[in-house]
Amino acid sequence: MCDYTTLNDNELAFFLKEGDNLAYTEIYNRYNAPLYMHAYKKLKIREEAKDVVHELFCKLWSNRSALVLTGSLSAYLYTAVRNRILDIIAHKQLESAYVVSLQDFIDKGHYITDFRVRESELAAIIEKEIASLPLKMAQVFVLSRKSHLSYREISDKLGISEQTVKKQVYNALKILKVRLGYVFILLSLLFF
């Protein structure tokens, strides 16, 4: 049996391309922490940095048979992380500009006739998505975002740990973000 820790990156990439999950594991063990630190330095948000690295490794495994390295494996991985970070930063800038524009529009009082109709339709969509969450998750989410209770207050009220409350809110936001797409962030600012 081969000791994968002694293999160089080119050898690991070769075995990875052949579908060797032990080579993949060694690449993960070798690069997960440094890539996370690199992403965290740029994004300053732990969860985003973890997500970027997780996405990279998922894509690396799922696209392993098509992997073509023109340089080193480390250069490939760092470039992929850098490109994803640039996408995230560009997306945040776009969202920020849109929110500023929307806030400016609201501050100036220029309401269009159907704004209230659209607002209530969007609120109904959000309510429907919240209602489709698992019961306990929806309950925790509503207490957190609508009743503005702290994690401790929710924990005491429902008889569950604060960590469970935090995880339920995080999972609910993640699910809603996927279901509602880019609209979620704007809507959460307007309705929650």
Instruction: State the number of CA atoms in the 13 A half-sphere of 8 facing the CB.
Output: 2
Q: Between vectors from CA 67 to CA 66 and to CA 69, what angle results, nearest 5°?
A: 145
What residue ranges do the domains of the chain occupy?
4-90, 112-191
- Determine the topology of domain 112-191 in CATH: Arc Repressor Mutant, subunit A (1.10.10)
Confidence category of residue 56, pLDDT binned at 50, 70, 90: very high
* CATH annotation of 4-90: 1.10.1740.10
pLDDT digits 0-9 by tens, 70-126: 889 999 999 999 999 998 888 888 777 777 777 766 666 555 555 666 677 777 777
Confidence category of residue 147, pLDDT binned at 50, 70, 90: confident
The DSSP secondary structure of 130-157, one letter per residue, reads: HHTS-HHHHHHHHHHHTS---HHHHHHH
Q: What is the DSSP letter of 19?
A: T
How many CB atoms lie under 10 A from the CB of residue 189?
Answer: 11
Checking if the pLDDT of 57 tops 70, the result is yes
pLDDT at 175: 81
